[in-house]
Amino acid sequence: MDDLKKIIHIDMDAFYASVEQRDNPELKGKPIAVGYSEERGVVAAASYEARKYGVRSTMPSTRAKRLCPELIFIPGRMGVYKEVSRQIHEIFHEYTDLIEPLSLDEAFLDVTENKRNILLAVDIAKEIKHRICEELNLVASAGISYNKFLAKIASDYRKPDGLCTIHPNQAMDFVARLPIESFWGVGPVTAKKMHSLGVHNGKLLRECSLDMLTRHFGKVGSIYYDFSRAIDLRPVEAVRVRKSIGCETTLMKDITKTSAVIIELYHIATELVARLQRNGFRGNTLTLKIKFHDFNQITRSYTQSQDLTTLDLILPLAKQLLKEVDYSTHPIRLIGLSVSHPRDEHEDVGMERKMWEQLSFEFSDWKD
């Protein structure tokens, strides 16, 4: 990779759960879930011992307990996780300042030119993994390649405690063998559509024309087209523009009565306004998210010229979006609202970047 970028993707293994096991030795080796065990609870993170039973993040707690009767639920400690993340980033900064966080537990590092003049990116990744283990008593996986897409895929390849390098001469073959579900940005819905089109892996995706992919997937089709060819031109960006702010609530019981839905909508809109004011965020697109009792979900959005910053603006628009949702025979389990499309997003931002941001960060502030 002498003439190419040297990109590392670091991903902490079962981060929240691992922090809890580290801080409470009695939990080591046991199946644990960060979250709440109540009937309406959702798993925020699961230890690898729990994952052996099929327990996964975002899974309803009731299902998780059925899969793993011995599962131990631990309330989350976000303040602790943020502090540990800060300590991890201190280690990163000893090697490079070109760091792009994706969340508290993962980030891209561009080490093409690094502070320690280490020639091989894999040696930097090994050092970082070792230091995280020695100094923080936590385990990370690392992927190394010449672009972000491949580095991300590589970090997932040999988890936990993984280390994988995808060299330029290996990239096309590696991507060809990759199941379509493993492509970054391909979720369950997109994977299902890919399968219906006969696309099951990178090789079959590469055989699709750009016209066909954009016809079926819109503008993000061009991203899938590039990924199938191991192409990703996005740089590691140390400063990232926040794309949205949102909040949501899982209801204590499913509801269908309009008056009850409106009351919940009011509370969520009030909380959203408070978050917007705390962060000084300004955007002009409001999105309503509804998850039904069967866990199917829909979204409805509206963009206007005026910034959405007050309850007087947001609540009437949220009610209008709600009118587009038929919940008379589909009880509602969860309601969420978000404001997106900050003003500077429309200025000096290329279409390719906007497409990727939409793919990667949609509803990133929402946690079930």
171, two tokens: 């990239």
In which region does residue 206 sit, left (phi positive, over 0), alpha (psi from -120 to 50) or beta (all else)?
alpha
Amino acid making up residue 173: D
d(CA 279, CA 231): 35
β-pair partners for 338: 246, 287
| Helices and strands in the chain: count of H runs, count of E runs | 14, 12
What is the Cα gyration radius of the chain? 22
The residues near 101 (Cβ < 8 Å, ≥ 6 apart) are: 89, 107, 240
Of 7, 52, 271, 32, give the one whose Cα is nearest residue 154.
7
d(CA 285, CA 244): 9
Question: SS3 of 123, please?
Answer: helix
The residues near 50 (Cβ < 8 Å, ≥ 6 apart) are: 17, 31, 32, 33, 64, 68, 71
Quick one: 252 exposed, middle or buried, by C-beta within 10 A (0-12, 13-18, 19+)? Answer: exposed
β-pair partners for 337: 247, 288
Residues labelled catalytic: 106
β-pair partners for 303: 285
Taking CA 45 as the corner, what is the angle to CA 40 and CA 47, rounded to the nearest 5 degrees?
125
Of 112, 104, 98, give the one whose Cα is nearest residue 78.
104
In the sheet that holds 7-12, the strands lie side by side as 99-103, 106-110, 7-12, 140-145, 163-165
The gap between the terminal CA atoms of the chain, to the nearest Å, is 40
d(CA 295, CA 193): 19
